[in-house]
Amino acid sequence: MSVPDQQSIEHFLHGQVACWNAGDKEGFFAHYRRVASKGLSIEYVGQAERDAWQVLEGMWAQQQSRIRIEVKLTVVKGAEAACHHRNAFVGAEGGIETIELYRFEDGLLSVRYFIAG
């Protein structure tokens, strides 16, 4: 089983955030395709399972222009990462806190989003 090294995982985590904040949809999706070449699953904890690529498309279409991601903490251990992000509202006060869990293995990426509130 092939697992990306810490540098590759950090490149993905920080790269997809940078692309999101820059409005670079192509770059954002390229980061996901690179680490999830064999499959992607995304779970919003507490919600029904949906197609992961459609989740990303919907997230981009509905939220990208309204949210700027502020990275509060990123922890990478082996094939897993945990991130605390503040999804700050663009042009308004406030934001949404998220804890995001990532598991990388042999071209598969599993993501779990815990959304505060």
Q: What is the mean pLDDT of the chain?
A: 95
Q: Residue 49: what pLDDT?
A: 87
Sheet holding 67-77, edge to edge: 39-44, 108-115, 95-105, 80-89, 67-77
Comparing CA positions, the residue from 62, 70, 113, 73 lying closest to residue 94 is: 70
Structure confidence at residue 17 (pLDDT): 98
| CATH code for the domain defined by 6-115 | 3.10.450.50
Structural domain spans, the chain: 6-115
Instruction: Please give the backbone phi and psi of residue 58, each rounded to the nearest 5 degrees, phi first.
Output: -65, -40
Q: Is the pTM of this model over 0.85?
A: yes
For the chain, where are the alpha helices, taking DSSP H only?
A: 6-22, 25-35, 52-63
What is the 3-state secondary structure of 24-36?
CHHHHHHHHHHHC
